Amino acid sequence: MLLIICMTALAFSSDAQSCWRWLGIKPAYKLKNELSISWGLVENPFEMYHDDTPGWPEGRFEGNTPWERYDRSRYSYGDRIYTQALSVGYTQELSRWLALGVQTSYSGIYQSQRLDGMSVDHLYTHRLAIYPAVRFTYLNRSMVRLYSGLGLGVGMKWEREFFNPDVRYSVFPTGQVTFFGVSVGRALFANWELGYGVKGYLTLGMGYRW
């Protein structure tokens, strides 16, 4: 309950320290805020889809006339584009070792189908997640910080495939586990993380701390 109450204060109040005082806790540590952006790998770049002719459904060519085969061969496909994970986060340090925050992440996949050089169809997948996160800093120096973290929240996905006009929607629990992170800098900082989840397994970012 303490985590939920103070996370709500972080999201909706500019003075989260008053939340702790309301609970009877008087933190001696001056609270610090962070605003960060990052880009992370969620799909393996060595397994990305570059073939110009994706596999047809099984049996699609069976029993077709020569004209139908020729007509279908006029279609071509652009490269499948992966945005990977783009994330924005706000975090507030409550002590030298503990911080709470809110993260949001987006990742997408896009590919176009062309007929005689003109785009006629699209395949896409959009994923969006928002989740509260806790961060544990086990080395806190003026220039360098080492940390781990955990976040759990809700994710949404909508996707459409070739030859199918319907868009599928889904909502599911999701989050991010940060096994190891490094932050370098004071007010302006750069960081990289190793983890698993919607933010990516290898993440590079930057931010501002005040």
Mean pLDDT in residue range 89-107 = 93
The residue with tokens 């029993």 is 63
Q: Measured between alpha carbons, how far is 82 from 78 in angstroms, rounded to an integer?
A: 12
Kindly report, residue by residue over 133-186, the tens digit of the pLDDT.
999 999 999 899 999 999 999 999 999 988 788 889 999 999 999 999 999 999
**Which pLDDT does position 12 carry in this prediction?**
46
**Which pLDDT does position 209 carry in this prediction?**
93
**pLDDT of 71 higher than 90:** no
206's tokens: 């930057």
Kindly report, residue by residue over 10-62, the tens digit of the pLDDT.
544 445 555 555 555 555 567 789 999 999 999 876 655 544 444 544 444 45
pLDDT band at 68 (very low <50, low <70, confident <90, very high): low
**Which pLDDT does position 43 carry in this prediction?**
82
First to last CA, the chain: 27
Phi (first) and psi of residue 183, to 5 degrees: -120, 130
Cβ within 8 Å of residue 133, ≥6 positions away: 89, 91, 100, 101, 102, 103, 149, 150, 151, 175, 176
Cβ within 8 Å of residue 24, ≥6 positions away: none
Q: Measured between alpha carbons, how far is 185 from 141 in angstroms, rounded to an integer?
A: 10
180's tokens: 């190891």
The answer to whether the beta carbons of residues 92 and 31 sit under 8 Å apart is: yes
**pLDDT of 85 higher than 90:** yes
Q: Measured between alpha carbons, how far is 106 from 198 in angstroms, rounded to an integer?
A: 8
Q: Measured between alpha carbons, how far is 7 from 114 in angstroms, rounded to an integer?
A: 48
Task: Tell me the C-alpha to C-alpha distance, in Å, between residue 134 and each of 46, 84, 160.
Answer: 32, 23, 34
Predicted TM-score (pTM) above 0.75:
no
